[in-house]
Amino acid sequence: MENLINYLLQFGQLNPQQIDLVKDKAKEIYVKKEEYFSEAGKVARQVGFMIDGIMRVCYYNHKGEEVTRYFIDENNFVVDLNSFNYQIPSSEYVQAITDCKLIVFSHSALTELSGTIIGWDSMVNKITSKSLLQKIERISPLVAEDATTRYLRFMERYPTLTNRIPLSYLASYLGITQSSLSRIRKNVRL
């Protein structure tokens, strides 16, 4: 819980009372490996803050292939924003890659915090835009660089992850086939 509070304090001020308000609304949950935090076709009910573990966001493209859009690790929020904000059915899946522990808030809890804490909206604003911009920064270079570079960059960003996730997830994230990734790995090892 302290992790979450520290994270929030980076984006604005909260007095002890307000911190208690936040804590009151928070709930700790666990999501087992392979299970979904939110699913396509359903409304995202909660926003989560990752305490432990890794998740991924994926969808099915027009060819029916599963594509991993991004990975989310500790000390980051995980949420299907479009679905959560407007409480409409989602078009993507958020799935635990490892066993995960997270702190969650329901939609109504956040609405209440927004009404109770002055400056809450501004904090949410900063957190949202920072995290979305980060995602863009991460995806963007994937378009312009060759596959080997993309793989190397991924290893820099998620050094501990590279060998803990299925090859297929990583390949679809990088926009290449499993075999290509396997070959690239071989070359990089040499």
Q: Where along the sequence are the contacts to DNA (CB under 7 A)?
A: 146-148, 166-168, 175-186
Q: Is 167 in the site for its own copies (CB under 8 A)?
A: no
Rank residues 76 and 148 by Cβ distance to DNA and give the closer one. 148
Q: How far is CA 165 from CA 9, 123, 173, in A?
A: 32, 33, 12
Rank residues 124 and 171 by Cβ distance to DNA and give the closer one. 171
Residues 6+ apart with CB under 8 A from 157: 138
Say whether 87 sits in a helix, a strand or coil: coil
162 contact choice in its own copies, DNA, none (CB below 5 to 8 Å, kind-dependent): none
Site for its own copies in 69-128 (CB under 8 A): 69, 81-82, 85, 114, 121-122, 124-126, 128
Could you list the beta-strand ranges (E) of 32-110. 36-38, 46-52, 55-60, 66-72, 77-78, 93-96, 100-106
13 contact choice in DNA, its own copies, none (CB below 5 to 8 Å, kind-dependent): none
94 contact choice in DNA, its own copies, none (CB below 5 to 8 Å, kind-dependent): none
